[in-house]
Structure formats: structure tokens, C-alpha cells
Homo-oligomer: A and B are copies of this chain.
Amino acid sequence: MRPLFHPQVEDIRVEAILHALSDPARAALFTQIAATDCAQTCTAAAGGACQAIPKSTLSQHFKVLREAGLIRSERQGVEMRNTSRCREVNDRFPGLLPAIIDAQKRQAS
């Protein structure tokens, strides 16, 4: 179990963010995590966002979000705490995440 990789803020790339959020399941996971202040475990986020996703796939999704710089994952005991990096991303690309999240909300309704 190699340590999880998180990019530095200045290494975050727009393409990676767009790619990560272009998948509905991942977008749902991310908005779920971004919506709550407290850290969320993988399964909790999945439960609140999308159901019946195999855990290997889920793990891959979290990896994509993580390596795009959208979330930070930290082990806390037996589980994994995921927090959004919205603040940092917004620092680098102001307005990008709000616009995407807003667009997704609009579409859902």
C-alpha cells in the first residue's frame, strides 16, 4: 500500500479537473464531499452520491479525484477521510469549481 499521491496546488491541471468531473459518478462523489464540512469516508460519500458501485471502481474514482487535486484523502484508523480541496483549487482557478457545480445542479433539476 504505497502512500497516496496528492499534487501540489501549483501542479493542479485544468484538464485533470475537467476529466475527473466529466464522469457522473465522480462528479456526484465530489459534490457530496464538497457539500459537507466534515470529512467523509469513501463508502459514506458513495452512499450519499451513487449506489451499487463496486468498491474497486470506487477506489479508482477516488484516486482520479485525488490525483486531479480535487480531494485530499487521509487514513484515520480503519477508514479514509476525504475532504475537498475547493479552497486551494479556487485559489488557482477562481470560479471554475463553482461554475461546474452550478452547471451540474442546473442540469439535474
Contact = CB atoms under 8 A, between A and B. Distances in A.
Given A21-B18, A22-B19, A24-B15, A96 B92 contact: no
A107 B14 contact: yes
Copies in the complex: 2
A92 B93 CA distance: 22
Interface in A1-47: 13-19, 21-24, 27
A22 B27 contact: no
Sorting the interface of chain A by its residue count into under 10, 10 to 19, 20 to 34 or 35 or more gives: 20 to 34
Contact of A19 (B18, B95, B107): B18
Contacts of A99: 93, 95-96, 98-100
B24 A104 contact: no
Contacts of A17: 103
A83 to B, nearest CB: 22
Contacts of A18: 18-19, 21-22, 100
